[in-house]
Structure 1
Amino acid sequence: MDAPKVGLTFRLPTALVSQLREQFPAIGFAGPGLEAPFRTSEANVILGWPKPDFVQAATSLKWIQLFAAGTDIVDFQNTLQRGIVVTNARGVGSPSIAEHVLAMMLHFNRRMGLLLRAQLEGCWIEKNSFDYPELNGQSLAVVGAGSIGTEIARRARALGMRAFGINRDGRAVDGFERTFAVKNTAEAIGKADHVVVCVPGHESNARAFDAEWFSHMKSGAYFYNVGRGNAVDETALLSALDSDHIAGAGLDVTDVEPLPAGHPFWKHPKVLLTQHKAMNSARYWERLTQLFADNLVRFTQGRPLVNIVQA
């Protein structure tokens, strides 16, 4: 195989580009801020988040390495017809997302919202309440027991929590005390103090978390979404919050982003909004570059790639 041409659709940190060039001296790299003897559209390999029209124009394209786990941007009909392999960044953002979920759970359990508001108002809370719950001994249900869910469960169990996973068929997954099939979701979320959703953005998941779904949650439990915003019926979620059926919601994603001005979530006392920042990490690009480099070795050797995504 001739040395491939790699096109980036985003500005990768200079040090990491230099690392790739040092590891692959025969391979050319083009993209924002990079000098290269070819245009990005001439690339055989794309690293980034290429829009369908960009992929359509790249007539020599053989492989797309997405820089995130989601695949919403991919026109799989086009890639399948052209024999283009698509891989995603499954696992790259899992550590930071897992820590983010723990931060949200601690926020609610330790009453951080109440304490921050009191600080900003210059108000000392005289009542010395001891009703702050501990994560230790509480239970967690994760809808989507994949890479992200496993990392969440592993950290939760280290803090003394029980962790239950939910996947399509209930198959056992390392890190979870028990896994439930989707058809048994009600049983799983009915016993959990914290329920985390980290499902992908498939059409089948749209509005899947509706009023009936929330009705099965344990009264006083907390809900978190670090998957896709359109998976949640936001009207149903607001109703569950306002009726005090659930105690709070930590939302890293929403149906519409940016969240429109005036949306009830902005000022809702039971909602923690983190504006799609769960994946953010100073180490994200480092892990992505390592994944891409490993796959690039496989690509040049004609070996199967890691994290291949099917339509």
Structure 2
Amino acid sequence: MSKIVVLQQLTESQKQKVQEAAPSYEIVAVPVREASDSILAEAEIILGWSRKLQDFILSDKCPVQWIQTWSAGVDKMPMEQLEQKQVLLTSANGVHTIPISEQIFAYMLAFSRNLHRAVRNQGKHAWDESGTFTELHGKTIVIVGVGNIGAGTAQLAKAFGMKTIGVRRSGKEQDGIDQMYSMEQLDEALAQGDYVINILPLTEETKQLFNRERFAVMKDSSLFINVGRGPSVDTDALVEALQSGAIAGAGLDVFDPEPLPEDHPLWDMEQVIITPHIAGSNEHYTDRVIEIFTKNLQAYQQDRTLPVNLVDYSRQY
């Protein structure tokens, strides 16, 4: 019997959903720490990933044909080796749409209502009414990397009465986006943003895309939010932009390096909100990954192209 190895602990209900989608397969759900070469030696399909198991999975001893990652990002996957092995790769892209778009607005609302300073003053028992208070209504949000999360963010932005500008590789229009730009027009888009949101995946093209030149074209009143990938930002350039006043502040969930070192200057900047790479976390995560996986699983058994989040190795996402 062919085997599906799930590198997570599933509830009985979740395991049953996978079994119902693939009745002819044996389902083995095991946490990464308990996974072994012997379990993976018969795995045709793997749901999840671990660097700890990478060498065996990439070897001739593992018969894997398809890997469905547990994460939306695939930049840490050994894509060149997987492509050489002719392994299908799908991501969990889309599972984060609601929590990350809501986190983006948590940053924006905190900045607009000065909540980040209020929380710090609360810790000091300080009654301080100073500060600048604004509203999101009428402001311009620039969403760089309009995929599922970007589209969800745009919908929320429209509900707040904001002008929405999007940037994506194709330049293709998207519901909820007032004006779409291609990546070649990035600087033109950035110059208009009151809030600039980075949701880009990490590829060779996007590595340190947000550098000194990019921060220089933004408004000095703009706020930069990064929920994409840490290495897509030149961290030193970001620090300089914040220190010089080239931009007004930043809400950051991802970093380069990560975890952010304890002595890093970003920690002590009053105009910065830091969260520890948790923007996509919520109580529905596993159920949403299983939903993506079972849709792909049905297509896989019928020898059809996997319909959800099939990674294009040439694009690296």
The alignment partner of 1:307 has SS state of coil
Q: TM-score, normalised by structure 2?
A: 0.90
Distance 1:26 1:42 in 2: 14
Q: 1:77 to 1:234 in 2, by over 3 A?
A: closer
Matched, 1:72 2:72: no
- Structure 2: segments with no counterpart, 5+ residues: none
Q: Out of 238-247 and 16-25, give the one that drifted further.
A: 16-25
Give the aligned partner of residue 102 of structure 2. Answer: 99
Letter in 2 for 1:63: W
Give the aligned partner of residue 19 of structure 1. Answer: 17
Q: 1:245 to 1:40 in 2, by over 3 A?
A: same
Distance 1:235 1:82 in 2: 38
Matched, 1:6 2:4: yes
Give the aligned partner of residue 228 of structure 2. Answer: 227
Report 1:222-261 matches (<5 A). 222-261=223-262
Aligned residue-pair number: 306
Per-residue CA distance 1:254-281 (angstroms, 9 max, x = gap): 0011111101111211111111101101
Distance 1:54 1:267 in 2: 43
The alignment partner of 1:250 has SS state of strand
Q: Report the alpha carbon displacement of residue 23 of structure 1 after superposing the two structures with TM.
A: 4.6
Per-residue CA distance 1:36-67 (angstroms, 9 max, x = gap): xx713320000002433142245211111011
Give the aligned partner of residue 296 of structure 1. Answer: 297
Q: Report the alpha carbon displacement of residue 13 of structure 1 after superposing the two structures with TM.
A: 4.1
The alignment partner of 2:4 has SS state of strand
Give the aligned partner of residue 213 of structure 1. Answer: 214
Q: Does the CA contact (< 8 Å) of 2:197 and 2:224 recur in 1?
A: yes
Give the aligned partner of residue 43 of structure 2. Answer: 43
Q: 1:299 to 1:141 in 2, by over 3 A?
A: same
Q: TM-score, normalised by structure 1?
A: 0.92
Q: 1:264 to 1:14 in 2, by over 3 A?
A: farther
Q: 1:146 to 1:42 in 2, by over 3 A?
A: same
Q: Report the alpha carbon displacement of residue 10 of structure 1 after superposing the two structures with TM.
A: 2.7
Give the aligned partner of residue 126 of structure 2. Answer: 123
Report 1:77-226 matches (<5 A). 77-126=80-129, 131-226=132-227
Q: Does the CA contact (< 8 Å) of 2:254 and 2:277 recur in 1?
A: yes
Distance 2:276 2:9 in 1: 22
Q: Does the CA contact (< 8 Å) of 2:45 and 2:67 recur in 1?
A: yes
Give the aligned partner of residue 28 of structure 2. Answer: 30
Matched, 1:286 2:284: no
Distance 2:226 2:256 in 1: 11
* Root mean square deviation of aligned Cα: 2.1
Distance 2:129 2:8 in 1: 51
Distance 1:230 1:240 in 2: 17
Q: Report the alpha carbon displacement of residue 100 of structure 1 after superposing the two structures with TM.
A: 0.8
Q: Report the alpha carbon displacement of residue 145 of structure 1 after superposing the two structures with TM.
A: 1.3
Q: Report the alpha carbon displacement of residue 124 of structure 1 after superposing the two structures with TM.
A: 2.1
Distance 2:297 2:28 in 1: 15
Distance 1:26 1:85 in 2: 20
Q: Report the alpha carbon displacement of residue 78 of structure 1 after superposing the two structures with TM.
A: 2.4
Distance 1:126 1:220 in 2: 21
The alignment partner of 2:249 has SS state of strand
Distance 1:126 1:65 in 2: 50
Letter in 2 for 1:232: V
Q: Report the alpha carbon displacement of residue 297 of structure 1 after superposing the two structures with TM.
A: 1.2
Letter in 2 for 1:53: D
The alignment partner of 2:76 has SS state of coil
Distance 2:269 2:188 in 1: 29
Q: Report the alpha carbon displacement of residue 79 of structure 1 after superposing the two structures with TM.
A: 2.2
Per-residue CA distance 1:219-249 (angstroms, 9 max, x = gap): 2110011111111111111111111221110
Letter in 2 for 1:183: E
Q: Report the alpha carbon displacement of residue 173 of structure 1 after superposing the two structures with TM.
A: 2.0
Letter in 1 for 2:103: H
Q: Report the alpha carbon displacement of residue 77 of structure 1 after superposing the two structures with TM.
A: 2.7
